Structures are given as C-alpha cells and as structure tokens.
Amino acid sequence: MRAESRHPSRARFATRARPGRVPAMAAAGLLGLYLAVAVPKGLWRAGGEVADAVDDHESPDQARRRLFGDSYTDAIDEIRRALPAGEGYLMVEGGSGMLGGTYWVRYDLAPRRAVYLGRLNELTSAQQVRRRLVANLRHVVVAFGSHKPPRLYDRFRFLQEIDRRARAGSAVRGGPGSDR
C-alpha cells in the first residue's frame, strides 16, 4: 500500500535524474582511462631520470653549478663560510616570488635556519622591518631568481640601506638587491 501512495512528482524527478548521470559517469570513465595511461608513463620517465642522475656521478656542487651557474654557486659557498651551521638568518625575497629563489637558497644553506622577512620591495623603512623581526638574527640573505646570486648583509647594514633607499627613492643604485 505504501507504494501506491507515492507522490507522482517525486517519481517523475527520479526518472529524470538518471539520464543526467550519464555525462558524469562518462567523465569519470575518461579520467580513469587517462590516469591508467598517464601514471605508468610518468613513473617510467621519472625512473629514467633517476637512473640518468645516478649514472652521471655528479656531486651536489657540480649540479648546482650546472643548474644555477658559477656566480650563484660561489655566492652560496661564501655565505656558507660566513654563517656557522647552527646560526639562523633572515631571508628576503629580492626578485619575483614566482621563480622560487628563496626556496633554492634556503635549501642550499641548510641546516641553517631561515626566518622569512618578506619581499624586498615591501620593506620600505627600517622601523617597519624592526617591527616584523620575530628573532634576533644578525644576518640577512637577499635571494633572487633567474640565476642571480644571493647576497649576505649584516642586519644593521641592511637596515641602513633600506632607510637610505626610502629617503632617496626606490630607484637608488647600491641598496640591497641592486647590481652594484
């Protein structure tokens, strides 16, 4: 008896909903087919790249020189000598954040602890930078992308340069991140 008391509009809705599921099921099937083909191919290619890297017998320093160039590698080596392994530093993004310069510099300077201070173009005064400081670290590393070497500054000198740039305008040469 319960089946007889069923509302007719609900019955029509149930029959209309089933044909709408066909495109969703077809899309799910195509996604599954794509993954079934793409994942093994990607894993095979990644395995080939790992095998090539093992066969090259390239040291991390040689790989860094090949990828980023001599000036970047020399700058990283100089910063590693200046910063003891247990000492942290303030990290500033000097280029566009899209290139990942801070990530590579942080990786290359590990195990030293990095505290991200912000983007160089956002640091407009030494007073603003002092408010952002969460740790009393003595050194600042300005990292760039596109194979430009990072720069190491003493915090005091970095803050002086920020103030000098703010007083003279943002187009002054010789400040943090310039090509002096």
Q: Kindly report, residue by residue over 20-72, the tens digit of the pLDDT.
A: 788 888 999 999 999 999 999 999 999 988 888 777 788 888 888 888 889 99
Residue 177 binned pLDDT confidence (cut-offs 50, 70, 90):
low
pLDDT computed for residue 172 by the predictor? 46
Q: Give the residue extent of every domain in the chain.
A: 3-56, 62-168
Which residue, chain included where needed, has tokens 């920020």? 162
**DSSP assignment, residue 50?**
H
pLDDT computed for residue 151 by the predictor? 94
Residue 73 contacts residue 64 (beta carbons within 8 Å) = yes
Mean pLDDT of 70-97: 90
pLDDT computed for residue 13 by the predictor? 52
More confident residue, 38 or 167: 38
User: Phi/psi zone of residue 57: left (φ > 0), alpha (ψ -120 to 50 degrees), beta?
Assistant: left
Q: Are strands 139-143 and 151-154 parallel, antiparallel or unpaired?
A: antiparallel
pLDDT computed for residue 98 by the predictor? 73
Closest by CA to 147, choosing from 105, 92, 180, is 105
AA identity, residue 99: L
Structure tokens at 125: 């005064």
Mean pLDDT of 2-25: 63
Model pTM greater than 0.85?
Answer: no
pLDDT computed for residue 150 by the predictor? 94
Mean pLDDT of the chain: 82
Four-point Cα dihedral 48, 51, 52, 58, nearest 10: 150
Beta bridge partners of 151: 142
Q: Give 106-133 pLDDT, tens digit per residue.
A: 999 999 999 998 888 888 888 888 888 8
Report the 10 Å Cβ neighbour count for 87: 12
Residue 137 contacts residue 109 (beta carbons within 8 Å) = no
**Distance between CA atoms of residues 107 and 64, nearest Å:** 11
Mean pLDDT of 77-94: 92
pLDDT of 140 higher than 90: yes
More confident residue, 43 or 95: 43
